[in-house]
Amino acid sequence: MKQNRRQFLRTMALGAAGSGMILNGITSCVNKPAVVSINRRGLNAKMKLTYEPFEVKIKHVFGVAGNTRTFTPDVQVQIEYDGIIGYGEASMPPYLGETQESVMNFLKLVNLEQFNDPFQLEDILAYVDGIMPGNTAAKASVDIALHDLVGKLLDAPWYKIWGLDKTKAPSTTYTIGIDTAEVVREKTEEVNGQFNILKIKLGGPNDKEMIEAVRSVTNVPLIIDANQGWTDRQHALDMIHWLKEKGIVMVEQPMHKSKLDDIAWITQHSPLPIFADESLQRLSDVVGLRGAFSGINIKLMKCTGMREAWKMVTLGRALGMGVMVGCMVESSVACTAAAQFSPAVDYADLDGPALIANDPFKGVYFEKGQIMIPELPGIGVVKI
């Protein structure tokens, strides 16, 4: 009976942290050293935020509709609290409009020392969000590091705090960017057998040629991301019908985010589900996309981090929409953080660590594409 009571109290503490609350009177009763020490730390300890620029190097030239690149600017973040370190990350692809300079200028304004309790997630992250508009990747870096810290203090991974079964995590896609048919075929052959679903970037001049190149190598299911690249709704719909015959299971962002009426028309007539990517950024966008899209693709760098992403999952489900978790070209820090809620989604695109050549962390990994969430506290990463 005594052990059952301890387990009950520990579960209450985990649930409180997951909702941004802390039960100060209860946590001291839980027979776990990391949790017992929380109140002691909270009396005198301060959170210290540090950060440094980093460049994520991509293994292959990465092409999407509108640009190609060989690296992504990045900022690695740490929050230290009485000897415990939480890790975070801001990744800045070109279309987000953030830079290393803008992220670090934002982080200079963040004063976490005014809070003596890291479990005040709602208050702390509401303060960070209110510093100035935008800067979503910068805000996400603080959010991820804070979640990592709190999970470590609770000695639990976030999938457990959220009450999820990690064995229900879906397979991740592996992304193949826009390129010549020959290069696309080579990239597909390189990962053939390693992933059981692929994501193909379209919206260029040779869309059908690329799909045929992939299909010359593998018959695994494909997700298509047009990255707003199609300009005519009838052409987009015709492409989607053709793609269905080629084994495609879902299409992301067929047209520009400003053409919501055209996208709604495509969704209404499409034989495949249509998911929002560029049309979706934050929680406040979700309701307005109902009916225009079949589902939503949630990315930490766009929605300010894990706190808001979890709310978006809940809202999307309540609205009857499909849910996907995605990533930028980023390290294991952000991808492993996003993987923590992957058991609650339909599709996942968390291949960031597989796309880069200089990952400074070890975290989420894949077994023939299946997402394997580490059994480590916090977001589940270890610095290499």
How, if at all, do strands 274-276 and 295-299 pair? parallel
Distance, in Å, from the CA atom of 112 to the CA atom of 379, rounded to the nearest integer, reads 20
How, if at all, do strands 84-91 and 174-176 pair? unpaired
Distance, in Å, from the CA atom of 144 to the CA atom of 176, rounded to the nearest integer, reads 27
How confident is the model at residue 67, as a pLDDT?
55
Domains of the chain, CATH where assigned = 1-36 (no CATH), 160-383 (3.20.20.120)
With bands split at pLDDT 50, 70 and 90, how would you rate the model's confidence at 378?
Answer: very high
How confident is the model at residue 16, as a pLDDT?
52
pLDDT at 354 exceeding the cut of 50: yes
Each residue of 134-192: pLDDT tens digit? 999 999 999 999 999 999 999 999 999 999 999 999 999 999 999 999 999 999 999 99
Each residue of 305-327: pLDDT tens digit? 999 999 999 999 999 999 999 99
pLDDT at 374 exceeding the cut of 90: yes
Please name the residue ranges forming H helices in the chain.
Answer: 2-18, 24-27, 33-36, 38-44, 100-107, 121-129, 136-154, 158-161, 181-191, 207-215, 233-245, 260-269, 286-289, 300-303, 306-318, 332-339, 352-355
Distance, in Å, from the CA atom of 29 to the CA atom of 11, rounded to the nearest integer, reads 12
Amino acid at 194: Q
Q: What percent of the chain has pLDDT over 90?
A: 80
366 and 348 Cβ atoms separated by less than 8 Å: no
How confident is the model at residue 43, as a pLDDT?
57
What value does the mean pLDDT take over residues 227-248?
97
How confident is the model at residue 153, as a pLDDT?
97
List CB contacts of 51: < 8 A, sequence separation 6 or more.
75, 76, 77, 78, 103, 104, 107, 141
What is the DSSP code string of 11-58?
HHHHHHHHTT---HHHHTTSS-HHHHTHHHHHHH--EEEEEEEEEEEE
What value does the mean pLDDT take over residues 112-129?
96
352 and 328 Cβ atoms separated by less than 8 Å: yes
Q: Mean pLDDT check: name the lowest of 36-50, 72-86, 213-227, 261-275.
A: 36-50
The two three-digit tokens of residue 190, written as one number? 């390189």
User: Could you tell me the strand order of the sheet in which 84-91 lies?
Assistant: 47-64, 67-81, 84-91
pLDDT at 39 exceeding the cut of 90: no
3-class DSSP assignment, residue 251: strand
Each residue of 53-94: pLDDT tens digit? 999 998 876 655 555 658 789 999 999 999 999 999 999 877
How confident is the model at residue 25, as a pLDDT?
32
The percent helix, strand, coil of the chain (3-state, each to 5) is 40, 25, 35
Q: Which segment, 7-11, 90-94, 376-380, is predicted with the most confidence on average?
A: 376-380
pLDDT at 41 exceeding the cut of 70: no
Closest CA to 17 of 186, 154, 221: 154
Each residue of 84-107: pLDDT tens digit? 999 999 998 777 889 999 999 999
3-class DSSP assignment, residue 283: helix
pTM beyond cutoff 0.85: yes
Instruction: Give the position of tokens 């492993």.
Output: 336
Q: What is the mean pLDDT of the chain?
A: 89
List CB contacts of 127: < 8 A, sequence separation 6 or more.
115
pLDDT at 120 exceeding the cut of 50: yes
